[in-house]
Amino acid sequence: MENKHFVAFRTYLPPSFDVLAASLRAGMELAGNTALLTGATGGLGRAIAGALAGRGAKLVLSGRKAEALEALAAELPGESHRIVPSDLAEPGAAEKLAAEAGEVDVLVANAGLPGTGRLPDYTSERLEGTLRVNLEAPMHLARALEPGMIERGKGHMVFISSLSGKSATPLSSVYNATKFGLRGFALGLRTDLAPRGIGVSLVSPGFVRDAGMFADTGAKTPPGMGTTTPDAVSDAVRSVDLDAGEIEVDRDFLG
């Protein structure tokens, strides 16, 4: 039997959303608040940045390439956007990023590495880097930003995961592990912070075309699997004002 609260939330969302663990707590208004976005210059990150800025958020954009970040900041609507270049695969980078970002009201942890292939083919450096970017960095950022959010009495954290965090696929054991871990962390953190008035959302896209590893490599999605777009995922991120716990985006709005 479907939870009546889920029905109410779904009436406000496009049909590509599946919202789980919804909350009766009022969500957070993005306008005027500062949002830290990691992985900002990728195809998905750019779409998320545009969605957040379009809702009036002041952005702290992070990624590895300063020039690309500067160009993105100049394109976005609104003012007061800042950039903080960071390579989250490096030890200590997440903690440094949190410190340099300053007061952050909304965290959107979007940076990620594909992590595909057979496990013996991984070098130690590649394995550690994938774990650090996909799982450890979001945890470190959350740990560093949580006290300030609690002190100010407001805040929201969004973790961009994947449906690979709910179902294993061949040649993706490392990627699956990071996304399963991120999902568990986000949902657990949500239960910890809900009594403190801080929201936590998990966004799990299906296979995203036009961005990410399928767009970068030209690889085909598995047979029978639907695809979605960066814009569809960015709209899911904007739904933090509903304080949705988990959002699955597995097809286009028009699909």
Write the pLDDT tens digit of every residue in 152-210: 999 999 999 988 888 888 888 999 999 999 999 999 999 999 999 999 999 988 766 55
CATH superfamily, with its number, for domain 4-249: NAD(P)-binding Rossmann-like Domain (3.40.50.720)
Tell me, yes or no, if 175 is annotated catalytic.
yes
Confidence of residue 73 (pLDDT cuts 50, 70, 90): very high
Contacts of 149 (CB under 8 A, 6+ apart): 104, 105, 155, 198
Instruction: Enumerate the domain spans of the chain.
Output: 4-249
- Among 9, 17, 159, 175, the active-site one is 175
The 8-class DSSP code of residue 118 comes to -
234 pLDDT tier (thresholds 50, 70, 90): confident
Q: What is the pLDDT of residues 133-152, one digit of tens each?
A: 999 999 999 999 999 999 99
Q: What is the pLDDT of residues 103-136, one digit of tens each?
A: 999 999 999 998 889 999 999 999 999 999 999 9
Residue that wins the pLDDT comparison between 109 and 15: 109
Instruction: Give the distance from CA 184 to its chain's centroid.
Output: 14
Residue position matching structure tokens 């030209």: 218
Residues listed for the chain: 255
pLDDT digits (tens, 9 = 90+) for 207-224: 665 555 555 545 455 444
